[in-house]
Amino acid sequence: MLCAKTYKKKLFPLILFISVFTLLSVLYLTTAQDVLRRSKEKHIYIAMNEANKIKNAIDAIMSRTQILKDVMIATNGNVDKFDILAPEIYEDIEFNTNISLKNITLAPDGIVKKIYPLEGNENLINFNFMDETLSGNLEALDAFEKCNLVLTNPFNLVQGGTGFAGRLPIFTSNTHEKKFWGFTTITVDFEDFLKTIDMTSLSKHGINYHLQYINKNNEKITLTASPKLPENPVSYEFTIKNLLWHIELAPTSGWITYYKYALAFIIVFGFSFLLALITTDRIKIKDTNKTLERLVKLDALTGCYSRQFVNTSLINPKNGEWKDPNMKYSLAVVDVDYFKQINDTYGHAIGDMALVAVADVLKSHCKHENGDCVIRHGGDEFIVLYNDVTPERFKNKLDSLVNTTRNIRFCDYPEMRITLSVGEWLFSESQETYYEMTRQADKKLYEAKEKGRNQYAI
């Protein structure tokens, strides 16, 4: 009997060791799988953010084709306005997106007659977009058939280099028929576009990437990639108008680091240390979760809400309708005047400080408990939503925004001035969508700029 008890005492440490080792090993493996899942979710979020950055940049550029279309329709095809509008559109795109264009064209009957800039694009004069044998023209014919803007994937340009373009058909009409007038097109320098969206920054953060487009044969064609392609990547497909693009991401070091597994199984021999390690690991996972959720909703620099927050929390991104029909938002589009000059003169660090200062002013004029919010729309542009505000109160808020920002000063740069141009759109019972309100406010913003900036337009 005594011998049996002694045997059990001697065996118990071994049983305990095996039990604890097994339990902690199972817990560790479970936790490791959870970390892997969270890591993949994080990279999917990053891929979505990169896709949104690309889409927003292209949308910001191609939306300008509508200006030329509207002018051509309004003037019944008079191309004389092109020489005035094209340089303004060219400079506006470069100022707001930092992306250079190859050219802007007008093509009556599909044949290029007006182009800006002409220098370097001489070979494009009399280029026939209706000739299906020429590079990049299938999309023009597709745009003609669909009566809508169609984008091209990158292709070799007649004038040299690589670019991608938007082809927008123009139709004039009278009481009897709708007539094809021609095209307005914008062609973007693709290499410059890649530099601006700066996917190379992913490599600096330990992420391998591969951006591709999918052609009509369902083949994936590389647009840009890190020096080493991602292994076992997460992927995200997204559409830009008629195009289908594809992003793949994976950590440079791989999803699984095997030496950590070996180290963890050694550490499980020390129960207390392992317990502390697991606890620490759990806290890190929770912190990572919170950080990811915050990064999705908030702009990292200014603390304002992000466009992702708008798409996920405020509106239906397909049609711009408000998710909460009870909210009565009035909308203001706010643009920092001559922000590029601030960056060029004082540097990007001071430019960031200026954006933070402006964001603080905008947030201070909001009642968050009332549903007001400030959104960083992109670059130096913000959108402010005021819920259930009277026209007089709305005007007072805009006036205060402009005046308060005008008085911002930096001790180290007392000569620097920050001013705002603001366009607004007041809530109406017609329940306009977010996109329509933004478009109308953008028109007012351009009115404010044309009147000399440093003001708001109603």
Domain boundaries defined on the chain = 36-256, 307-457
SS3 383: strand
7 pLDDT higher than 60: no
285 pLDDT higher than 80: no
Question: What element of type H or E holds 182?
Answer: strand 178-189
Distance from C-alpha of 370 to C-alpha of 366, rounded to nearest angstrom: 8
Q: Tokens in use for 227?
A: 């020096």
Length of the chain: 458
Q: Among candidates 235, 234, 231, 236, which has minimal Cα distance to 253?
A: 231
Determine the residue type at 368.
Answer: H
Distance from C-alpha of 393 to C-alpha of 406, rounded to nearest angstrom: 20
354 pLDDT higher than 60: yes
- The answer to which of 123-137, 268-282, 335-349 has the lowest mean pLDDT is 268-282
Give the mean pLDDT of 366-380: 91
- The answer to which of 12-16, 243-247, 382-386 has the lowest mean pLDDT is 12-16
pLDDT in tens, 100-153: 899 999 999 999 999 999 998 898 899 999 988 876 688 889 999 999 999 999
pLDDT category, 275, cuts 50, 70, 90?
Answer: very low
Q: Among candidates 275, 277, 312, which has minimal Cα distance to 49?
A: 312
Amino acid 8: pLDDT: 62
439 pLDDT higher than 80: yes
Amino acid 337: pLDDT: 95
Q: Among candidates 336, 349, 338, 341, which has minimal Cα distance to 412?
A: 349
282 pLDDT higher than 80: no
Amino acid 279: pLDDT: 45
Four-way CATH pick for 307-457: 3.30.70.270, 3.20.20.70, 3.40.50.300, 3.30.1520.10: 3.30.70.270
Distance from C-alpha of 18 to C-alpha of 16, rounded to nearest angstrom: 5
Cα–Cα separations (whole angstroms), residue 21 to 11, 73, 259: 15, 77, 18
Distance from C-alpha of 439 to C-alpha of 424, rounded to nearest angstrom: 10
4 pLDDT higher than 70: no
Amino acid 2: pLDDT: 47
Give the mean pLDDT of 354-383: 93
Any bridge partners for residue 103, and if so which? 187
pLDDT category, 160, cuts 50, 70, 90?
Answer: confident
pLDDT category, 374, cuts 50, 70, 90?
Answer: very high
Amino acid 44: pLDDT: 95
Amino acid 158: pLDDT: 74
pTM equals 0.52
pLDDT in tens, 25-64: 777 778 878 888 999 999 999 999 999 999 999 999 999 8
pLDDT category, 304, cuts 50, 70, 90?
Answer: very high
Name the burial class of residue 191, with classes exposed (0-12), middle (13-18) and buried (19+) by CB atoms within 10 angstroms of its CB: middle
3 pLDDT higher than 60: no
- The answer to which of 8-22, 90-104, 302-316, 409-423 has the lowest mean pLDDT is 8-22
Any bridge partners for residue 151, and if so which? 166
Give the mean pLDDT of 330-335: 96
Q: Among candidates 448, 444, 442, which has minimal Cα distance to 419?
A: 448
Question: What is the CATH architecture of 36-256?
Answer: 2-Layer Sandwich (3.30)
Mean of pLDDT over the chain = 87
Most confident of 50-64, 151-165, 175-189: 50-64
Higher pLDDT, 345 or 431: 345
Higher pLDDT, 39 or 21: 39
pLDDT category, 173, cuts 50, 70, 90?
Answer: confident
Amino acid 277: pLDDT: 45
- The answer to which of 31-35, 250-254, 371-375, 431-435 has the lowest mean pLDDT is 31-35
290 pLDDT higher than 80: no
Any bridge partners for residue 104, and if so which? 116, 186
Q: Among candidates 343, 351, 334, 326, which has minimal Cα distance to 402?
A: 334
Q: Among candidates 70, 31, 16, 4, which has minimal Cα distance to 269?
A: 16
**Percent with pLDDT over 70 in the chain:** 88
Give the mean pLDDT of 86-111: 92
Amino acid 322: pLDDT: 92
Most confident of 248-257, 336-345, 430-439: 336-345
pLDDT category, 156, cuts 50, 70, 90?
Answer: confident
